[in-house]
């Protein structure tokens, strides 16, 4: 026991440019999910820590927001180089606390880096609009200014990418940003904070405040916080949106998902099976854009299920640090037990578990939180395995008779994050993408996460608020518009007061 305490790391906040344990007395253990061992002690913020972070952010926002675009952008370019140079280190931190395989963790850093690159071009996004001589002698122009202090509350499944969906855009547009990372894998956020500092970002512009509901509630209700970006599960997204809007803040809250991949009989079944397999089981299914439901249309079903099952059985599950592993553990023992329960319930309700990962034991990792790839065929819409976001390596197969029926299933689902269609018909693909009530669509692409120059966001219960995240919508979210109507009358040409509502002339 003593030895364990000695080998665990203290995971602190990053407030006003320095690491600090803060004054909060509560702590929480952080685990390596591949071994089941506690590896860190996380310090949770109290009210005093929160106040320190918010006041440092408020002070920093004033000077940072006033700094020239050229100087702000120079910091972004340096940060881009530093993140790229520390990709391996960031990935190792991710794998150690999240469990995903290293190659996947590096991919996550790469997709976050893309948003930094978008933010390096922020001058283009902030150019504003100008109408010359709209009325005689009058010009009208609009431009945008930062909100001030914004906070980002992020989920465990992308401890680097999701913070980078937010912070680079918030900071490039002139805000101070407070990150409240997931308690499950908090360490990568501290390396990000150091890299920002080394890039020349003034103290207080990027801070990390660790905590749970107490800290989140403090941010949602704090009068000095102007905006909230949230990514996480749907019930919390809804709560965050309601609470923070009630306290006068601008909010974007991205929630959970149940993403369907429709496979038509005319699809190349090998391509469909390869892609769905990777999208269902990559990162142990713990992605908000994971494919968790394959909707097999008509005669596609039998062949598709055979090919999916064959591929799922071949996945090498193990410690994400080992190069041979293709899939790692899930995040907690509770998650593992919940996943197993849902699979068992589906089986009892008449579904066929064609690949069963419930009892997988990984050699030398008996205490790891592993669940093997699982494929459940003949799932119905009234089963828990369909209704709930499982967030594990479980692929449900639904059989339908037509593309129309597939679209009905997707549109009846309360989530609307991502979806995909596999077909060789442009006409069917077009019908599909026009009719589904989902925010992000892949055509023969299983995980259609938009590149950083297009914004990311779902529909229905997958997003609360008006703005999608990063890309042009991210810029709009973190800024407020101003429109100026301007006249410079020639001296001594007073035209007298008019009491009619002004119109153009
Ligand atoms: P979560 O909702 O449990 O936690 C997200 C954040 O909210 C964490 O920082 C956590 O500390 C905080 N939180 C948790 N409970 C809270 C409460 N009661 N009050 C206030 N704050 C609270 O989500 P998670 O388990 O960390 O992440 C997985 C979920 O995130 C999945 O549902 C997944 O689909 C979703 N997700 C969505 C997207 C997207 O873009 N839509 C992206 C990634 C993850």
pLDDT (tens place) for every residue of the chain, 505 residues total:
334 444 689 999 999 999 999 999 999 999 999 999 999 999 999 999 999 999 999 999 999 999 999 999 999 999 999 999 999 999 999 999 999 999 999 999 999 999 999 999 999 999 999 999 999 999 999 999 999 999 999 999 999 999 999 999 999 999 999 999 999 999 999 999 999 999 999 999 999 999 999 999 999 999 999 999 999 999 999 999 999 999 999 999 999 999 999 999 999 999 999 999 999 999 999 999 999 999 999 999 999 999 999 999 999 999 999 999 999 999 999 999 999 999 999 999 999 999 999 999 999 999 999 999 999 999 999 999 999 999 999 999 999 999 999 999 999 999 999 999 999 999 999 999 999 999 999 999 999 999 999 999 999 999 999 999 999 999 999 999 999 999 999 887 777 888 888 887 7
Active-site hit among 164, 169, 288, 371 = 288
- 446 by Cβ neighbours in 10 Å (0-12 / 13-18 / 19+) ranks as buried
What ipTM was assigned to the predicted interfaces of this complex?
0.98
Distance CA 106, CA 110 (A): 6
**Distances in Å between the alpha carbon of 133 and those of 136, 308, 488, 496?**
6, 63, 11, 21
Distance 183 CA to ligand 1 centre (A): 10
Q: CA angle at residue 106 from 237 to 27, to 5 degrees?
A: 50
Examine the residue annotation and report whether 120 is marked as an active-site residue of this protein.
no
Is residue 214 within 6 Å of ligand 1 at its C-beta?
no
232 lines ligand 1 (CB under 6 A): yes
pTM: 0.97
What is the Cα gyration radius of the chain? Answer: 25
For 81, residues 6+ apart whose C-beta sits below 8 A from its C-beta are none
Are 42 and 28 in contact, with CB atoms under 8 Å apart? yes
End-to-end CA, the chain? 82
Domains of the chain with bracketed CATH: 9-256+458-483 (3.40.605.10), 259-443 (3.40.309.10)
Whether the Cβ atoms of residue 192 and residue 113 lie closer than 8 Å to each other: no
Ligand 1, closest atom to CA 234?
32
Q: What's the gap in Å between 232 CA and the centre of ligand 1? A: 3
Q: Ligand 1 pocket, 242 CB below 6 A?
A: no
Ligand 1 atom closest to the Cα of residue 256 is 34
Question: Which ligand 1 atom is at minimum distance from the Cα of 240?
Answer: 20
What is the Å distance from ligand 1's center to 156 Cα? Answer: 7
Which residue from 236, 292, 414 has its CB within 8 A of the most atoms of ligand 1, so it is best to mutate? 236
């Amino acid at each position: 026991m003593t030895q364990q305490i000695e080998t665990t790391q203290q995971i602190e906040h990053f407030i006003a440019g320095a690491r600090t344990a803060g004054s909060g007395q509560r702590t929480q253990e952080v685990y390596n999910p591949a071994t089941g061992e506690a590896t860190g002690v996380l310090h949770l913020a109290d009210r005093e820590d929160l106040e320190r972070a918010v006041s440092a952010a408020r002070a920093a926002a004033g000077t940072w927001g006033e700094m020239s675009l050229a100087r702000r952008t120079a910091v972004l370019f340096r940060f881009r180089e530093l993140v790229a140079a520390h990709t391996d280190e960031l990935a190792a931190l991710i794998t150690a606390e999240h469990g995903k395989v290293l190659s996947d963790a590096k991919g996550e850093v790469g997709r976050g880096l893309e948003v930094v690159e978008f933010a390096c071009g922020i001058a283009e996004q902030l150019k504003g609009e100008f109408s010359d001589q709209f009325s005689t002698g009058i010009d009208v122009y609009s431009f945008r200014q930062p909100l001030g202090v914004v906070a980002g509350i992020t989920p465990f499944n992308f401890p680097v990418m999701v913070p980078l969906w937010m912070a680079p855009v918030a900071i490039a547009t002139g805000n101070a940003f407070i990150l409240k990372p997931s308690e499950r894998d908090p360490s990568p956020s501290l390396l990000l904070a150091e890299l920002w500092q080394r890039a020349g970002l003034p103290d207080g512009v990027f801070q990390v405040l660790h905590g749970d509901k107490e800290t989140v509630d403090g941010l949602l209700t704090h009068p000095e916080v102007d905006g909230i970006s949230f990514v996480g599960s749907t019930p919390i997204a809804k709560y965050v949106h309601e609470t923070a809007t009630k306290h006068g803040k601008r909010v974007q809250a991205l929630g959970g998902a149940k993403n369907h991949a429709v496979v038509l009989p005319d699809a190349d079944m090998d391509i469909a099976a390869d892609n769905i397999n990777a999208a269902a089981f990559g990162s142990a299914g713990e992605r908000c854009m994971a494919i968790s439901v394959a909707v097999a249309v008509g005669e596609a079903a039998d062949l598709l299920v055979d090919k999916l099952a064959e591929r799922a059985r071949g996945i090498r599950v193990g410690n994400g640090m080992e190069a041979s592993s293709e899939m790692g553990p899930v995040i907690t023992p509770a998650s593992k037990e919940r996943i197993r329960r849902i699979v068992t319930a589906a089986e009892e309700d008449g579904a066929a578990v064609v690949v069963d990962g419930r009892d997988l034991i990984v050699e030398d990792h008996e205490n790891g939180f592993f669940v093997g790839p699982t494929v459940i065929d003949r799932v119905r819409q009234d089963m828990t395995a369909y209704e709930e976001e499982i967030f594990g390596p479980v692929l449900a197969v639904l059989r339908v008779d037509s593309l129309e029926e597939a679209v009905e299933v997707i549109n009846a689902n309360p989530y609307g994050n991502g979806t995909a269609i596999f077909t060789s018909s442009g006409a069917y693909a077009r019908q599909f993408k026009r009719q589904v009530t989902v925010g992000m669509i892949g055509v023969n692409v299983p995980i259609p996460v938009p590149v950083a120059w297009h914004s990311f966001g779902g529909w229905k219960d997958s997003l609360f608020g008006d703005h999608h995240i990063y890309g042009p919508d991210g810029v709009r979210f973190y800024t407020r518009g101003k429109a100026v109507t301007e006249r410079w009358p020639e001296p001594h040409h007073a035209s007298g007061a008019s009491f009619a509502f002004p119109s153009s002339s």
